[in-house]
Structure formats: C-alpha cells, structure tokens
Amino acid sequence: MDNLSDTLKKLKITAVDRTEDSLEGCLDCLLQALAQNNMETSEKIQESGILQLFASLLIPQSSCTAKVANIIAEVAKNEFMRTPCVDAGLISPLVQLLNSKDQEVLLQTGRALGNICYDSHEGRSAVDQAGGAQIVIDHLRSLCSITDPANEKLLTVFCGMLMNYSNENDSLQAQLINMGVIPTLVKLLGIHCQNAALTEMCLVAFGNLAELESSKEQFASTNIAEELVKLFKKQIEHDKKEMIFEVLAPLAENDAIKLQLVEAGLVECLLEIVQQKVDSDKEDDIAELKTASDLMVLLLLGDESMQKLFEGGKGNVFQRVLSWIPSNNHQLQLAGALAIANFARNDGNCIHMVDNGIVEKLMDLLDRHVEDGNVTVQHAALSALRNLAIPVINKAKMLSAGVTEAVLKFLKSEMPPVQFKLLGTLRMLIDAQAEAAEQLGKNVKLVERLVEWCEAKDHAGVMGESNRLLSALIRHSKSKDVIKTIVQSGGIKHLVTMATSEHVIMQNEALVALALIAALELGTAEKDLESAKLVQILHRLLADERSAPEIKYNSMVLICALMGSECLHKEVQDLAFLDVVSKLRSHENKSVAQQASLTEQRLTVES
C-alpha cells in the first residue's frame, strides 16, 4: 500500500508531464494493486483526487488510453466509486473514445461505461446526455457479422453496457427500442448462437426489453421466435432453458408472437419437456414442467394460435393436452383444464369437445378434488365447464351428463375464485333450460348459499354472480315454487338492490325477475318488496335521465304488476308516479313511449 501511495503521487506528476513510459509504469502498478485488492485501492484512488486527472488522460491518440479506461472499469465495480467517476467528468471523454478504431480501447471503454451505469442513476444520466447509447448501437450494427473471438468479446461488452444503462429504467429502455436495438440484438443472436457469453447477454437484454409493451411490435417484426426456439432446442442445462423461458413468457403475451412461436415449433419442445419431466421429483424438473405447461396455456390465449393447435379437435397437441387431465400430477391437471378452457372460446370447438367426451373427463377431475382439493385445479376445471356450457346445443347434453350435480359438490367451498366459477357455470347451464332452472331453484341449500353470497361485499365478483344466478333461476323457470323458495330464504331484498346496479345488464335481469315475482307470487313477496323499498327505487329509476331505455321500460312494466298489492299500490299513489310517467310518453324510444301511455292509463284507472 505504501508503493500505491508513491505510485499515486508519481502519477500526478507524470499525468501533467505526459511522459508515456513512466505513465505506463504507474498505470500498470495501479492495475496490479486493483487486481490484489480492488476495494481498498479504489478508496485510495478516490482519496488522492487522481480521478479528475484521468479525464485528461483519456485521449484517442495516447498509447495509455486503454489502460486508463481499464482502471476506470475496475474502480467502477465498487458502488461507492460510480458517482465520483461521473463527478470527475469521465463520462464525456469515455463516450468520445467510443469513436476510436482501436479494439482494445473500445473494449475497455465499453467496460468502464457499463460498470459506471450499473445501478447508478447518475451514471446512466451522464451517458444519456453524452449520447453514448446511439454510438454503441451503431457499433453493434456494424460489427454484428464478424465472428472472430475478439470481436465477439467486444460485442458482449457492448450488450452488457446497454443492459446496465437501461436495466429497470422504462424511459431508457424505450429510448433503446426507438434507436432500433431490437432487430440488431435478434440478428446478433442468430449469427453468434455458438458463443455462450454473447447469447446469454442477448437473452438478458431481451428479458429486460420484452417487459415493455412498446417492444412487442418490434419483436414481432423480427424472427425472434424462430431464433429462440432454435436456441431452446440446443439447450441441455436447466439454467439456460430457464433464461430462454424468461424471455418467452413476456413475448408470448403478444398474439402475433404467440402464432410465430407456434409456427416455429415451440409447442413440440414444450410437450417433450412435459413428457420427460412428468415423473421426476427433482426440484429443477418440477420447475421446468410448471414453466413449460404454463407457457403452453399462454400460447392458447391467442385466437389464431389456439385454433391452429386445435386442428378441428384432431390435432396432436390437443390430444396430448387432453391426456394431462387424468394425470396424477396437479400441475398437469391444472394446465390441462386451463388449456381446455382456452380451446373452449368458440362454439365450434365447444360443441366438438362436448360431443367427444371432454365433460366426463372434467367431472372426473373435479371428483378427485372435492375433499381438501387443489383450489387452482377446481377453479380451472369449473372455468372449462363454464365455457363449454355457452353454446345452446351443449346445455342439455351437459345437464343430462350430470354437470350440475358435480358442480354443486363445491357449494361448501370457502374460496371466492371457486365460488365465482361455480356460479358462472350454473348460470350458463340453466340459460333457457326451464326444467333445470326449476330443479335448482327449489334446492333450498343452493338458494340459501346464494343469499349468503349476495352479501359477500369483499368479493364483488361472487356477489354479482350470486345475484345474477338468483335472478336467472326465476327468469328461466318462471316457477311459483322457485319464487317461494327465494322469498323464504330472504333473497328478495338482494334482487331489489340488484335493480340499482351500475351494470345495465344486471339491472335489467333484476327488473325482469321482480316483474315475474309480482305476476306470479305477489302476495308471498309483497312484505319483502315493501321493506326493500322497491317502489321508491322504481320512482328513482324512472325519474333519472341517465337510466337506459330498457330500464325505464321494465320499471314501468313492474309498476303495473305491483298494483295488485294494496300496500304497494298505496306507495305508488303517494309517490306521484303519474308526473314521471306522463313525461316519458314523449320519449325518443318507441317502446318506452308506448309503455308510458299504458302505465299512465293503468295509474289513472287505479287512482
């Protein structure tokens, strides 16, 4: 360390005199000291004030320039040295050196700038202001096709510098994207795929940039999918595959890239991984199986990629995914059920799958998860059944296959995601199926659970779906017994509240159900309708200019139906409905205007 102090003193003198030989000797001593104890040497360098002198030594024509840049690169490995390097004015001369023709100078300058930028806002800012990124990207473009080892090393350093410059900084990442870095990096990956260090650097870069929405379009216009799949096929090590997965996942969120990945053969790679790892209990293999099957499900979220893999239900991929459902591996059961839910996104696919026995497979899967089951698997299987129940032609088939009974086993679930899907599945199944709606609507356990869930204020989805199912049971069954069950279970007040929902579709469903109650069982329900303040709510809906035409129409139909109840009739008279209704006779919607005339007549006769 004494030698170091002497060297630093000597360096101060020779830096001014510019005696190249003695300068080089001093720099070698410093590099040696840094190699032995980087941190301590860096502290001494900072204390000596020599950093400021380095700015004047960074000159293109000097033979010592590369060594000075190397020292800065070594010093900047320490977090506490990065801001001092910026304050010493080193960034501008370093960026100037990026225009050098000397490969060693470029290499050490790239290292120095990269290390100064690492996790340093000041470093990045200074490089940004000096215009360093654009020069580096231009170098990557011009050197891209040269495959000798020295050039590949330089390319790796430049890629690393850009990563340190933009890591976790959206605006600098966006700047690189605008400078066209993505096509350049994709080209690099294709040409240098044999070079592990450079490949790894490109992958880290892609991983960072792919998180940005604006990058996806640029990626989609390159052959990134093809390059990544080609690279993926060569990998044996878990860590390397994991790196590629980390790039694939954010990229695969883009529908165009999903299709490109499918066309490049990624799905076959994923299926192979699943087959290889399914029985392994090694941690790495379990992680790889999960990542591969999750990515498979993600690829099926794109309409085109999904349809391409479905191949009319005859496709190898579809058949392989089907075989996951009866497997004993929870991760595969989950991925299989989610994949079916994704395949079930159009009527043609749904009809084909129901005709080919998928419902039974999903019911068997649910059966295996009734007691202390896996919640994610329950949720996924119910999602698939819900989607399959959308086409009209499937409803009766699924009902006769016993889907409602299978689904009702999960009524006791305390997990909101499962409750939500259970409700949605039942609602889809009974749509326009009077007999099924009546059977479910008379099921006291179900109705009581629905009423309970109508109060699940912490889970808006469950609350909304419970209300919608209550209303659907009445609308599709048109049954007095169903209405009585709902009245006895305390469901009326929830239907009245639903009429004030912010969603027009829910308001409407509630009003239609309430009109049926008023027409079929007014005597049974009148007390509950009165205490829920239905008449006041209807007055408000009719007076509110923002109410949709169908809401006004159904509110008036309901008012007429309520006239058969003495107490509700009196409330209608007390609230001066005539004024509100007569204004609606001139409503621009014909149906509303006609119903207003009829309602006005009815109110006049009854008053």
DSSP states of 244-257 as a string? HHHHHHHHTTSHHH
Residue 294 lies in a domain: no
Express each pLDDT in 348-365 by its tens digit. Answer: 999 999 999 999 999 999
Helix, strand, coil percent values for the chain (each to nearest 5): 80, 0, 20
pLDDT at 427 over 90: yes
Question: Do 470 and 592 belong together in one domain?
Answer: no
> What value does the mean pLDDT take over residues 498-513?
95
Q: Are 332 and 371 in contact (CB under 8 A)?
A: no
Residue 344 lies in a domain: yes
Question: Do 144 and 189 belong together in one domain?
Answer: yes
> What value does the mean pLDDT take over residues 532-550?
93
Question: Do 322 and 423 belong together in one domain?
Answer: yes
Question: Of the candidates 222, 219, 226, which has an alpha carbon nearest to the alpha carbon of residue 251?
Answer: 219
End residue of a domain, out of 83, 103, 130: 130
pLDDT at 572 over 90: no
Residue 285 lies in a domain: no
Per-residue pLDDT band for 238 (boundaries 50, 70, 90) equals: confident
Residues near 323 by beta carbon (within 8 Å), at least 6 away in sequence = 336
Neighbours of 119 (CB within 10 A): 11
Buried b (16+ CB within 10 A) or exposed e, 54-93: bbebbeeebebbbbbbbbbbbbbebeebbebbbebbbbbb
Question: Do 145 and 250 belong together in one domain?
Answer: yes
Per-residue pLDDT band for 312 (boundaries 50, 70, 90) equals: confident
| DSSP single-letter state for residue 568 | H
Residues near 112 by beta carbon (within 8 Å), at least 6 away in sequence = 69, 70, 72, 73, 76, 90, 94
The pLDDT value given to residue 355: 95
Express each pLDDT in 373-390 by its tens digit. Answer: 889 999 999 999 999 999
pLDDT at 337 over 90: yes
CA angle 443, 446, 452 (to 5 degrees): 140
The pLDDT value given to residue 13: 73
Q: Are 8 and 50 in contact (CB under 8 A)?
A: yes
Q: How many domains does the chain have?
A: 5
Both tokens of 587, joined, read 């409503």
Alpha helices in 88-195 (DSSP H): 91-97, 103-117, 121-130, 132-143, 149-166, 170-178, 181-191
Q: Are 73 and 67 in contact (CB under 8 A)?
A: no
Length of the chain: 607
What's phi and psi for 344, nearest 5 deg? Answer: -85, 50
Neighbours of 160 (CB within 10 A): 23
Return mean pLDDT, the chain. 92
SS3 350: helix
Give me the percent of the chain exceeding a pLDDT of 90: 79
> What value does the mean pLDDT take over residues 491-517?
95
The pLDDT value given to residue 16: 65
| DSSP single-letter state for residue 565 | S
> What value does the mean pLDDT take over residues 146-172?
94
Dist. CA 417–CA 402, nearest whole Å: 22
End residue of a domain, out of 233, 264, 295: 264
pLDDT at 368 over 90: yes
pLDDT at 248 over 80: yes
Per-residue pLDDT band for 575 (boundaries 50, 70, 90) equals: confident
Domain coverage including residue 473: 433-523
Rounded to two decimals, what is the model's pTM?
0.82
Residue 270 lies in a domain: no
The pLDDT value given to residue 593: 95
Question: Do 482 and 415 belong together in one domain?
Answer: no
Question: Do 420 and 479 belong together in one domain?
Answer: no
Question: Do 448 and 538 belong together in one domain?
Answer: no
Question: Do 385 and 452 belong together in one domain?
Answer: no
Residues near 434 by beta carbon (within 8 Å), at least 6 away in sequence = 476, 477, 478, 479
The pLDDT value given to residue 128: 96
> What value does the mean pLDDT take over residues 224-233?
93
Residue 277 lies in a domain: no
Residue 198 lies in a domain: yes
Question: Do 252 and 145 belong together in one domain?
Answer: yes
The pLDDT value given to residue 133: 96
Q: CA–CA distance from 435 to each of 183, 492, 513 (Å)?
A: 60, 22, 17
The pLDDT value given to residue 373: 81
Neighbours of 386 (CB within 10 A): 22
pLDDT at 12 over 80: no
The pLDDT value given to residue 607: 62
What is the full DSSP assignment across 4-56? HHHHHHHHHHHHHHT-HHHHHHHHHHHHHHHHH-HHHHHHHHHHHTTHHHHHH
| DSSP single-letter state for residue 503 | S
Q: Are 509 and 475 in contact (CB under 8 A)?
A: yes
Residue 288 lies in a domain: no
Per-residue pLDDT band for 321 (boundaries 50, 70, 90) equals: very high
pLDDT at 300 over 70: yes
Question: Do 240 and 328 belong together in one domain?
Answer: no
| 136 alpha-carbon distance from chain centroid | 33
pLDDT at 20 over 70: no
The pLDDT value given to residue 2: 56
End residue of a domain, out of 113, 130, 147: 130
Residue 291 lies in a domain: no
| 94 alpha-carbon distance from chain centroid | 41
The pLDDT value given to residue 19: 64
Dist. CA 384–CA 451, nearest whole Å: 25
Alpha helices in 431-533 (DSSP H): 434-441, 444-453, 460-477, 480-488, 492-498, 504-531
Neighbours of 552 (CB within 10 A): 27
